Amino acid sequence: MPASPTAPPPSGTGGPARPRGRPPKTQDERDEGNRRRLIIDGAARLFRAKGFEGASTRDIAAAAGMRSGSPFYHFESKNALLHAVMQEGLERAVQSQQQALARLPPDAPPRARLAALVRHHFEILFGPEGDFIPVMLYEWRSLTPPQRASIARTKAVYEAQWMPVLEALHAAGRLRAEPAVARLLILGALNWAVQWYQPGGRLSLDALAEQALGLFIGGD
């Protein structure tokens, strides 16, 4: 039976191949993404240093190497930019935390898994993209209720990865506090390190992570 004129050509007949997956980004799209990233990173540094109210849109544009009105081609308001700083910072942290856990052997004991989580959290706090955490801690009230709900959902994903480890340590008698309470106390203590820890000082991040583990669950 002859093929219908509207039927697709059978495989191997040399018909046009259908593209698979997402098409590659154009140069304009890549440039747009880079500019957006520059704005977010610059805003995060300024919100941390000057506070949300103290950082002007002119400051933010200058930090990104742009004209004063340029950030608002990418964000509808300064408040929307604040939300993006927190949201995208958290999303990157969730992804890198998952990668840190995936690098461990499948049979890694709970202490080793907690060590990886603590060390990763310090990497986020003191790494080049860590400004969003102090901004999130100190500028939370500047968000709208829907924005807070959005951040809370992503934050819950990040913190949920700690629970199986803390529950295993609690079941083994290594962690005496309730796991959910312990998670809040541990993350609160780690976040406070931004107030006193000096990278490049007496304690390396590895040494700092070991000190934290000794405080939370003691030695082996």
Residue-wise pLDDT tens digits, 60-101: 888 877 766 666 767 888 899 999 999 999 999 999 999 999
Looking at residue 128, its pLDDT comes to 85
Of 132, 157, 9, nearest in space to 81 by CA: 132
Q: How many CB atoms lie within 10 A of CB 33?
A: 12
Least confident of 20-29, 39-48, 202-211: 20-29
What's the whole-model pTM score? 0.79
Higher-confidence position of 166 and 63:
166
- Average pLDDT over the chain reads 84
How far does Cα 217 stand from its chain's mean position?
26
Whole-number Å distance between alpha carbons of 97 and 74: 28
pLDDT at position 115: 96
The structural domains of the chain, ordered by start, are 78-217 (1.10.357.10)
CA atoms within 13 A on the CB side of 80: 8
